[in-house]
Amino acid sequence: MPDTIYIKSKSEIEIMRQAGRITAGARTIARQAIAAGVTTKQIDRYVHEFIIKSGATPTFLGYAGFPASACVSVNDEVIHGIPGKRVIHEGDIVSLDVGATYKGMVGDCAGTFPCGQISEEARRLIQVTRQSFFEGIRFAREGYRISDIGGAIQDYVESHGYSVVREYVGHGVGHRMHEAPEVPNYRIDRHLSGRSNPRLVKGMTIAVEPMVNMGGYEVKVLDNDWTVVTVDGSLSAHYENTILITDGEPEILTMAEDL
């Protein structure tokens, strides 16, 4: 990931708002498609068609060789699930990660959603993961540092007995899907981690994305070289939005939950 942090202009921000609305709409389309008997490939097709129809391009398709327009991860799959023949069943939890590029600017968002009736433990995991995002962006304001966001996420998640994934983090977003800075979901010490910890300034756009495991935070990559799963087989949830740093409250560019 390059080290340069791009401060977005007013015109770029307006395009990112449009990209964000399309991306949020794609997440909604995917969420509405979750049902017993549906394949992950079907969900991917709905996402692809929606993004194209909206005048944008699917950011994920072909990115570093990724073969689909959406990441669809089920149960113990943390991120980067490749859509295919897998059938979703009642009681599964499904993580949907989507990105859309509009006029050269990228929106990126994710969420974990239930298929029908799920266990109370799974529902609580989803709720805590989503809320941890909002706990974190309380510090997404000018003058705070990147680690203030991650520290708040970590504290909230761990107070509920869960763990935050360490190997994968949030990131800057805008001209590319992955820009500086990295946005860990945990408190960092630059001297120990080697990660930068810049101050937030107006015009930065970042993707904050807690990845929360019901068990330990250890993960591994499957043989397909993409799909990340929990080592202990525990459930995992994911929640992400693209946000804009302003001179006040952060603006969530991908917030819409429904069309």
Full DSSP string of the chain: --SPPPPPPHHHHHHHHHHHHHHHHHHHHHHHH--TT-BHHHHHHHHHHHHHHTT-EESSTTGGG--SSEEEEETTEEE-PPPSSPBP-TT-EEEEEEEEEETTEEEEEEEEEESSS--HHHHHHHHHHHHHHHHHHTT-STT-BHHHHHHHHHHHHHHTT-EE-SS--EEE-SSSSSEEEEE-SS---HHHH----PBP-TT-EEEE--EEESS-S-EEE-TTSS-EEETT---EEE-BEEEE--SSSPEETT-----
Identify the pLDDT of residue 194. Answer: 58
Identify the pLDDT of residue 259. Answer: 40
pTM equals 0.96
Identify the pLDDT of residue 196. Answer: 78
Q: How far is CA 58 from CA 77, 116, 201, in A?
A: 22, 28, 29
Which domains, and CATH codes, for the chain? Answer: 10-252 (3.90.230.10)
Identify the pLDDT of residue 2. Answer: 63
> What does the alpha-carbon distance between residue 94 and residue 74 come to, in Å, rounded to a whole number?
5
Q: How far is CA 55 from CA 5, 14, 47, 104, in A?
A: 27, 16, 13, 12
pLDDT tens, position by position, for the chain (259 residues)?
Answer: 568 999 999 999 999 999 999 999 999 999 999 999 999 999 999 999 999 999 999 999 999 999 999 999 999 999 999 999 999 999 999 999 999 999 999 999 999 999 999 999 999 999 999 999 999 999 999 999 999 999 999 999 999 999 999 999 999 999 999 999 999 999 987 544 556 799 999 999 999 999 999 999 999 999 999 999 999 999 999 999 999 999 999 999 998 764 4
| Peptide linkage before 181 cis (omega within 30 of 0) | yes
Identify the pLDDT of residue 1. Answer: 57
Identify the pLDDT of residue 198. Answer: 94
Question: Quick one: tokens of 140?
Answer: 């997404």
Identify the pLDDT of residue 210. Answer: 98
> What does the alpha-carbon distance between residue 67 and residue 72 come to, in Å, rounded to a whole number?
12
